[in-house]
Every structure is written in C-alpha cells, then in structure tokens.
Amino acid sequence: MTPEFKGLLLAAVVKIVVVFSVINVGVMLIIWQERRQSAFVQDRRGPNRVGPFGLLQSVADGVKNFMKEETYPAAADRILFLLAPVMAFIPAMLGFAVIPFASPWPGFDFAMPVLGRFVSAGVVPMVMADLPVGFLFVLAITSIGVYGIVLAGWSSNSKYAFLGGLRAGAQMISYEIAMGMSLIAVIILVGNVTLSEVIGRQQDSMWFIFPLLIGFFIFMVSAFAETNRLPFDLPETESELVAGYHTEYSSMKFSMFFIAEYSNMITASALMAALFFGGWDIPFTTWDEGDPSVVKSLVTMVVFGLKTWLFLSLFIQIRWTLPRFRFDQLMHLGWKFLLPLALGYIMMIATTVWALDALGVAFGIRYALVLFGANIVLSYGLFWVLDRDRLFGGSRPGNKRRIA
Amino acid sequence: MAIGVKIMQRPEGQLSYVRATVKGLALTVSHLFQRKVTMQYPEQKETADWKLSDRWRGTHRMLTDEQGRAKCVACGLCPQVCPANCIKLVAGEDEEGNRYPLIYDIDEFRCVFCGYCQEVCPEEAIHVGVDYENAEYQRERFVYDLERLCSQTHPVSTLWDPADPKGE
C-alpha cells in the first residue's frame, strides 16, 4: 500500500467512526433532551434521576429494551418483520455521509512504527464522502428509509400498523416533491449540488436563509413531514392508530425505529444548517475560511453542532406547539399549498437570478440582498395577504370552503 | 366533502397558521422558564403549598406507657368495631388482674384505614398514623405484631381538626 492510499484509508475510517458514534450519542442525548424539554414545556421536570440531570436515561432505556422480550405477531411475515427495522435504521445512519461538518482538516504526513507512513492528498475535507451528487444523496437515502416503515406496517399484519405504513408512504411521497422543489432554488443559486460548494457559496455572499427565505420555509415544513415529526406524525398517531407502524414491535426492534427517527431528525437538521445557515461557517468573520488548521476544524465543528442542535430544539418545541394535522389536511398542505408554492418560488428565484445576471450584478452580498427583498415581498403576500383562509379554502364567513 | 364536517366560523385574527404558530411557540417557550410544579418525592416530602394532612390515616401505631408497655388493656373494642376484621387480639391477665394483650396483630393488607379503632379505643392506645412509606419485600411482613406496632415512631393521626370539631 502506498502512503497516500493508507492516508486516505485512515482519514476515511476515522471520519466514519467519529461521525457514526457522534450521531449515535447525539441520538441518545437528543432523546433525553426531547423528554426534558417536553417536561419543561409542561412545567414538569422530566427524567433527572439516571446520571447527572438524567443524562444517562437513554442508556437505561436501551438496557431495558435489550432485556425485554421480543414478540412476534402470529400472523406476521417473519422475514420482512425482522428486516423492516434494519431497513429503517441503515438509511437513517447513511444520510449524514455527504454533509460537511467542519472546515477542512490540514493535510498530514507522519509515520507510525509498524504501519509505516501516512500521507494525505492535500487537505482532508471534513465530510465522510464528498459525493458529486451532494444533497440529492440525502434525499434519495431518506426516501429509502420509508421502505422500512411501509414494510413494518405491512408485515405486522395488523390493521393499525398497516394504516400507519400506508400513511407514511403517502406522506413521504407528497413531501419529497415539495422538498426537492424547494432545493432547486439552492441549485439555481449555487449551480452545483455538492454541499461543500453550497457552503462555499454561502461564505461568498450570505447565508441562504436570507436570499431563500421561502425556500427554507418549504424545506423546513417538508423536513418535519419527512421525519414524521409532529405536527405531521400521521404514521404513528397514537390517538387513532395505537402506535402506528411500530404497533407490533417490541424491545430493540422498536428501539431501532426510534433511533432511526431521531437520526433522521439529526440529518434533516444538519442539512438545514448546511443548506440555509452556512454549514460550519462562523458568521461575521472570515477567520474560518483561511488556511485550514486543527483549531479551525474543531471550532467550526462545534459551530455546526450548535446550528444543528438549534434546529433539533425547534423540532422538539414545535412538537408541543402545534396540534397534529388531520390526514386530509396534511395532503392538502403538501399537494395544494407547498408544491404550487415551491413551483412558483422556483419561477420567482429563476427570474430574479436571470434579471440580476442580465444586469451584470456579480454574485455577492448585494446579489443576495436583492433576492432577500424579493423573498420578503413574496412572504408578505403569502402570510399576510393570502394567509390561511384563501390558501386553504378556510372558514371566513361567506367563503366557500375549498377542502373537498 | 364526504361527511358533513362542521366548519368553525372563526374571527379574522385566528385564521392564520403562521400567526398561530408564532403565538404558540411564544407560549411554549415561555413555559420552558416557568417554575416546575413536580415535587421531587424521595428527597422532598412536602412543599410550601402541599403537605400531608394531619388527618391522614396510615399504618397503625400503638402508644406505650412510661414503662414501655403497650397502653392497650385488651378490652376487645377495636376487633369488635373493625369493619375489615383485621385485628387479632388475644387477651391475657397478670397477677393483679390487669388485662393486657398477649397477641395483638393487625393485618395491614386487610385494613381499610377507616380509623374506627383509634376512635373507639378508651385508652388512646391504638392509633392510625401519618405514614405512607410502608413497602415490604414479603407479604407476611404486613401483619404487624404488638412489638412492631409499639416501635413505630411516626406521628399519629388527628381524627378531626381540633379548631373545627364539627367539620364545618
């Protein structure tokens, strides 16, 4: 093996191990945070017994789940029933692979006693795989995740699980479209789909939350639906479907769905941070964009973690803020509101970008501010003029309700 | 529309999803910083606004006299009045003709904690107590014998509020 190949291998293995363990520990902590935050919203205290502040609660739950009996419904399809949690779990873990989580690590060149010399080819990008397909990979992988849920629903041979699985399938398809459409605006601005490119573009101008405000709104709503979080957790609606697609699952198999849901949340949050909030970029400074150094990598990693965590907290807070949608309302929102909105938005962004390019404005802060202005105008139209009742065929007296 | 769904006629200000979401978020976030109401039980047994009532009727306690003997004179009123039939009393008599309980067992499992035994006792010997932490590892341990009843230290229940004897 050449030292370069060994260097590549070492970097890849270390990144994979670190990211995988960080995600899993993160899932553990975010479950704890969810329970604590839920409790705080309800003026309770939440789990605070196991370990300091109850931090080890998830570990205790994990041990409990390993100990519990595995139940198999008599009429279940054994093979698919076993396969489903795995099929939900693996894509959830894979999605993070293309998300850059820190500024590049400086190149290394060192020798170890037995293993020999390790050389990196230039700087090491802090992303598990900087695929040319970029964030499309995340969209593709998260869509695969729904197979696990649909199969879980079908193979359980229970009507509740089945309905939950169907709902998950329908919901995923509906919101995938709006999500993909909202990201086309990003592609228009960046001209590329790799996330390192996206982050670089944001450093050149400003975070895409400003020029793509509405796009972010669409993406966020779709991300809530994609990760089956409230107010869109129709696949598990405990008030109507017992526990939805994982009704028949017990012990660790249930835990795998649970972990998959939370790692999907982490991936979605990280994606939002990377696409619209500058990824690992530290605002108001260009220090992090200079020559790579270890300190920069570590600091930007922390910054990226913070941004991701903010979105995770928002996920949890929204859960206790909005009531669950009814299924027809969910479909209505997806197909009749978000999809047309996303399409119109692409038109608007494309037109503005075309006009700016025609005027010869160079890509930069001014460019982004113009787009931001266009977004403000559109959001004013959306949220204050059109608002709910006309968009949703709402309930203003004298208005014919348009929900069929 | 398949079935007749009732359509709420809401005022203008309540129609917006966005406004509703923002208002809701403000509310839930404000609750994050509010005082928590949970009592931390094993460490904290009473709070400023909640304490166990003095009239709580829990596991029994037998009071003793100066010599450390049970005050009970084995009159037999408590097993007589007990609706759950949980008191077992075998009376004995010493040389001076004083009656005392040879066996005095209370089955706390059968007891309904009505407090009649305390009310009927002419010697103020048997009492229900202000106590609720009485878990055991064996069922047999729930039959309290005389020695155990005498060695309980928790406060005894007041049958009524002395300031308000008629319960007004």
Q: What is chain A's alpha carbon radius of gyration, rounded to the nearest angstrom?
A: 23
- The full DSSP string for A278-333 is -TTPPTT-SGGGSS--HHHHHHHHHHHHHHHHHHHHHHHHHHTTSPPPPHHHHHII
Closest CA to A35 of A373, A316, A395, A292: A316
pLDDT reading at A390 higher than 70 = no
Task: Tell me what the pLDDT averaged over chain B comes to.
Answer: 82
Enumerate residues 6+ apart whose C-beta is below 8 A from B41: none
- Cβ atoms of A123 and A104 within 8 Å: the answer is yes
pLDDT reading at B11 higher than 70 = no
Which residues make beta-bridge pairs with B143?
A: B107
Q: Is the pTM of this model over 0.90?
A: no
Enumerate residues 6+ apart whose C-beta is below 8 A from B123: B71, B72, B73, B75
pLDDT reading at B59 higher than 60 = yes
pLDDT at B145: 87
pLDDT reading at A399 higher than 60 = no
Find the CB nearest A395 among B7, B38, B40. B7
Taking CB atoms and an 8 Å cutoff, what residues of chain A touch B35?
A: 43
pLDDT reading at A389 higher than 60 = no
Taking CB atoms and an 8 Å cutoff, what residues of chain B touch A318?
A: 21, 25
Confidence of residue A402 (pLDDT cuts 50, 70, 90): very low
Residue A40 lies in a domain: yes
- The SS3 call for residue A339 is helix
pLDDT at B13: 60
pLDDT reading at A137 higher than 70 = yes
Residue A118, φ and ψ in degrees, nearest 5: -120, 125
Residue A287, φ and ψ in degrees, nearest 5: -55, -40
CB-based contact (8 Å) between A404 and chain B?
Answer: yes
Residue A288 lies in a domain: no
pLDDT reading at A133 higher than 70 = yes
Rounded distance between C-alpha atoms, residue A182 and residue A203, angstroms: 21
CB-based contact (8 Å) between A41 and chain B?
Answer: yes
**Quick one: residue A71, left, alpha or beta (phi over 0 = left, psi -120 to 50 = alpha)?**
beta
Residue A381 lies in a domain: yes
- CA torsion sign, A204 to A205 to A206 to A209? negative
Find the CB nearest A317 among B7, B25, B40. B25
Number of H helices and E strands in chain B, helices first, is: 4, 5
pLDDT reading at B88 higher than 60 = yes
Rounded distance between C-alpha atoms, residue A101 and residue A308, angstroms: 10
* A positions 367-386 inside 8 Å of B (CB): 383
Q: How many CA atoms, within 13 angstroms, populate the side-chain half-sphere of residue B9? A: 4
- Cβ atoms of A165 and A53 within 8 Å: the answer is no
Q: B32 and A396 in contact by Cβ < 8 A?
A: no
- Enter the tokens of residue B50: 């909640």
Q: A395 and B36 in contact by Cβ < 8 A?
A: no
- The SS3 call for residue A37 is helix
Burial class (CB in 10 A: 0-12, 13-18, 19+), A131: middle
pLDDT reading at A337 higher than 60 = yes
- Enter the tokens of residue A246: 């994982």
Q: B15 and A394 in contact by Cβ < 8 A?
A: yes
Confidence of residue B16 (pLDDT cuts 50, 70, 90): low
Rounded distance between C-alpha atoms, residue A344 and residue A185, angstroms: 11
Across A69-88, average pLDDT? 85
- Cβ atoms of A219 and A187 within 8 Å: the answer is no
Taking CB atoms and an 8 Å cutoff, what residues of chain A touch B8?
A: 395
Taking CB atoms and an 8 Å cutoff, what residues of chain A touch B14?
A: none
Across A99-106, average pLDDT? 82
Chain B residues at the A interface, defined by Cβ less than 8 Å, are 1, 7-10, 12, 15-18, 21, 24-25, 27-29, 31-32, 34-38, 40
pLDDT reading at A394 higher than 50 = no
- Enter the tokens of residue A309: 């965590």
pLDDT reading at A143 higher than 60 = yes
Across A247-253, average pLDDT? 84
Taking CB atoms and an 8 Å cutoff, what residues of chain A touch B40?
A: 45
pLDDT reading at A322 higher than 60 = yes
pLDDT at A404: 38
Residue A394 lies in a domain: no
Find the CB nearest B16 among A317, A383, A395. A383
Across B112-129, average pLDDT? 86
Residue A401 lies in a domain: no
Find the CB nearest B31 among A43, A396, A397. A43
Q: B36 and A383 in contact by Cβ < 8 A?
A: no
Which range is least confidently modeled, A89-93, A208-212, A364-368, B162-166?
B162-166
Rounded distance between C-alpha atoms, residue A380 and residue A378, angstroms: 5
Q: B34 and A43 in contact by Cβ < 8 A?
A: yes
Q: A37 and B32 in contact by Cβ < 8 A?
A: yes
Q: A41 and B35 in contact by Cβ < 8 A?
A: no
pLDDT reading at B164 higher than 80 = no
Across A17-36, average pLDDT? 89
Residue A13 lies in a domain: yes
pLDDT at A124: 78
Taking CB atoms and an 8 Å cutoff, what residues of chain A touch B38?
A: 43-45
pLDDT digits (tens, 9 = 90+) for B68-82: 888 888 888 889 899
CA distance A62 to chain B (A): 24
Enumerate residues 6+ apart whose C-beta is below 8 A from B89: B74, B76, B78, B79, B101, B103, B104
Residue A395 lies in a domain: no
Which residues make beta-bridge pairs with B100?
A: B92
* Domain range for A138: 3-281+298-387
Rounded distance between C-alpha atoms, residue A308 and residue A288, angstroms: 18
Residue A392 lies in a domain: no
pLDDT reading at A392 higher than 60 = no
pLDDT digits (tens, 9 = 90+) for A291-308: 777 788 888 888 888 999
pLDDT at A393: 44
Across B99-117, average pLDDT? 88
CA distance A239 to chain B (A): 20
Cα dihedral B126, B128, B133, B134, rounded to 10, equals: 50
**Percent of chain A clearing pLDDT 90 (strictly above):** 1
Residue of chain A whose alpha carbon sits nearest to that of B8: A395
Rounded distance between C-alpha atoms, residue B166 and residue A319, angstroms: 51
pLDDT reading at A168 higher than 60 = yes
pLDDT reading at B162 higher than 70 = no
Confidence of residue A395 (pLDDT cuts 50, 70, 90): very low
Taking CB atoms and an 8 Å cutoff, what residues of chain A touch B29?
A: 317
Q: B25 and A396 in contact by Cβ < 8 A?
A: no
CB-based contact (8 Å) between A399 and chain B?
Answer: no
Task: Tell me what the pLDDT averaged over chain A comes to.
Answer: 82
Q: B15 and A395 in contact by Cβ < 8 A?
A: yes
Q: How many domains does chain A have?
A: 1
